[in-house]
Chains A and B, each alone.
Chain A
Amino acid sequence: MTNLTLIQAVNQALQQEMKRDPTVMVLGEDVGKNGGVFRATEGLWQAFGDERVVDTPLAESGIVGVSLGLAVNGFKPVAEIQFDGFLAPAFDQVISHVGRIRNRSRGRFHAQLVIRVPYGGGIHAPEHHSESPETYFVHTPGIKVVIPSTPYDAKGLLLAAIRDPDPVLFFEPKKIYRAFRQEVPETDYTIPIGKARLVKQGHDITVIAWGAQVRTAEQAVVQAKVDADIIDLRTLSPLDTDTVINSVTKTGRCVIVQEAPKTCGLAAEVIARINERALLSLEAPVARVTGFDTVMPLSRLEDSYLPSPERVVKAIKKTMEF
């Protein structure tokens, strides 16, 4: 056991899996000698060499498209997209090919590959460096979307993602890359994809979040002094609907915290599923605290955009008092 930050846990998972499985490759911009701009791949190039830790040309569509080709011919690429905003050039490859190749070939080919993306706001970065694009990919059939919010989960989920026979978009909340440490076993362990984490058990209300917003949710629950279930979704696709429904059936109240813009965000889907399966258990309308339908602002206004504990507390109170 060592106390690791989230990014150190990512790095450890990559180190260990590359050692265990010679078909695992890391590809991306600056992932080699430089160890990645966030240092997620630090030391890998030195340990595994040029053929397995590859500094690619600066071309995101190329990185993902070539990774798909490597994947259908026996490798397990872990591609890094340097920042969330730069997934856009690779969007076509992800939705047109990565998510479809198994279906298109009726199972003859499949893409066992992971696309790692540092994502989200809160680090005062330039434009296109603070985006939360997860919804596009949750909406896309054939891929899985995973977002860890703790070091322990980051390691276990990343190992599970690399071993998963289907393509996984692995969004890493960069705001909390180094925000706190947690004991992370050095042993090999995985966390099942598709299972949410019950962060804390309570009776009065369910608060749902993912990524960096899990911390916001936790703080809000303390501030609001409510006895809450806090659910970290961890996997956004496929969504662990059962965990959500069981909790909401018990508490009858729910607040969802989402960093991405409001309209058509994942919170909307969670609400729809609660409607389908737990409407009659509800004591209040399900509330959501989200980013706004605005372009992610630059640093001066960033904190106004991001869900704050205060906004979440307000939503919790309103839901409790309904």
Chain B
Amino acid sequence: MPRKTLATFRVSSLSILDAAGKVDPNLDPKLPAKTLQQMYSLMVLARVFDDKAIALQRQGRIGTYAPVKGQEACQVPSALQLTKGDWLFPAFREAAATIAFGIPPERLLQYWGGDEQGSKCAADKNLFPVSIPVGSHMLHAVGASWAAKLRKEKAIALTYFGDGATSEGDFHEAMNFAGVFKTPTIFLCQNNQWAISVPRERQTAAASLAQKAIAYGIPGMQVDGNDMLAVYVATKEAIARARAGEGPTLIECFTYRIGDHTTSDDATRYRTNKEVASWKKKDPIDRVRTYLSANNMWDENQEKQLQLNTAAQLDKIVQAYETFPKPKINDMFDYLYAQPTQELVQQKQELTS
């Protein structure tokens, strides 16, 4: 038997809007100004929301929070393309995606403020609750999107996770199931270079996370995760494939977590200011503003107006959060089963009487 090549693979990466705000004319998806402005505005909202959430945590008005700063371009252009009936499965750092998906942001504060009611999305939104066990929730996205496929619906599922999550077994099981059953699932990996203090190189010896798709027989690609247009295009292609019955896609968004891992973390213990500063120069929001301004789709007046509107919106969000009724003790007993067990009824009585 001679030695022969069984298969060869290519791993591609995509970048459209560079850090200086210059668009590659050959790759420009030429989106309507309105769409670009909407994505920009949502990213700005996510950014100020994030800062506010950290401030609220420092003031003791919410609990631990996982900031999204720096990853807005991974989340807004992808989540925004989901339509009615589609499913979103976040990990725990998906404030921007959640907002872009149309969930009232005060619900995020309610959740991070310690009330599970914040995870109860409206009946017409298929947003799964925050999933804390790293890497475990992508399987749910595979199952839910498989269900849609079995019913011959067009709905798809989009799931977010980090670089660290690609080391968990469930990531591989999810990709493998999705490949075997050709489920309409989009795996969006936000490679933000860090899993708390552990760098990306410690998760895998592979040159990219995108190439993990190859082993499962599904398409995978890397995109500049700080590039709103690249993420938009990659997600759009993946969604089209999924809706056409062509199965799952893995998208690795190459990005950076500008903030601490959570409000309980101190990232200066394990990474340099120089590294952070170099990534700040690649900010996903600044480059869009530069691009829009340079192409007559945005001016100072609009920017001023956006800042004012966003600040007012943020006030309303915080106000809405702080006027939510306090959770009732009953809540902790009442949602375990469709009908409470006798034991739960007794335990609740013990606590409340």
Contacts and interface: CB of A to CB of B under 8 A. Distances in A.
B331 A106 contact: yes
A54 B128 CA distance: 25
A69 B129 contact: no
B9 interface: no
Contact of B144 (A62, A73, A242): A73
Interface string A220-240: 000000000000000000110
A108 B336 contact: no
B120 A107 contact: yes
Contacts of A93: 136, 139, 170
Given A106-B119, A109-B128, A238-B341, A70 B146 contact: yes
A96 B144 CA distance: 18
Max chain B CB contacts within 10 Å: which of A57, A96, A105, A164? A105
Contact of A69 (B117, B120, B146): B146
B150 A69 contact: no
Max chain A CB contacts within 10 Å: which of B121, B140, B145, B151? B140
Contacts of B141: 69
Interface string A74-108: 11000000000000010011001100011111111
B338 interface: yes
B298 interface: no
A283 interface: no
A248 to B, nearest CB: 17
What secondary structure prevails in chain B residues at the interface with A? Answer: helix
Contacts of B119: 104-106, 108
A142 B144 contact: no
A61 B139 contact: yes
A51 interface: yes
A54 B149 CA distance: 14
Given A68-B139, A69-B141, A74-B151, A166 B173 contact: no
A97 B341 CA distance: 20
A86 to B, nearest CB: 14
B346 to A, nearest CB: 9
Contacts of A75: 147, 150
Contacts of A268: none
Given A57-B180, A68-B143, A164-B338, 7 more contacts: A65-B140, A66-B177, A69-B142, A75-B150, A92-B170, A97-B137, A109-B128
18 contacts: A61-B139, A61-B169, A62-B139, A68-B139, A68-B143, A69-B143, A69-B157, A70-B146, A93-B139, A96-B136, A102-B337, A103-B336, A104-B129, A106-B119, A106-B120, A107-B120, A108-B120, A141-B336
Q: Considering the complex of A and B, which 10 residue pairs feature the smallest CB-CB distances, nearest first?
A: A69-B143, A65-B139, A62-B173, A73-B147, A238-B341, A106-B120, A66-B143, A69-B140, A165-B338, A69-B144
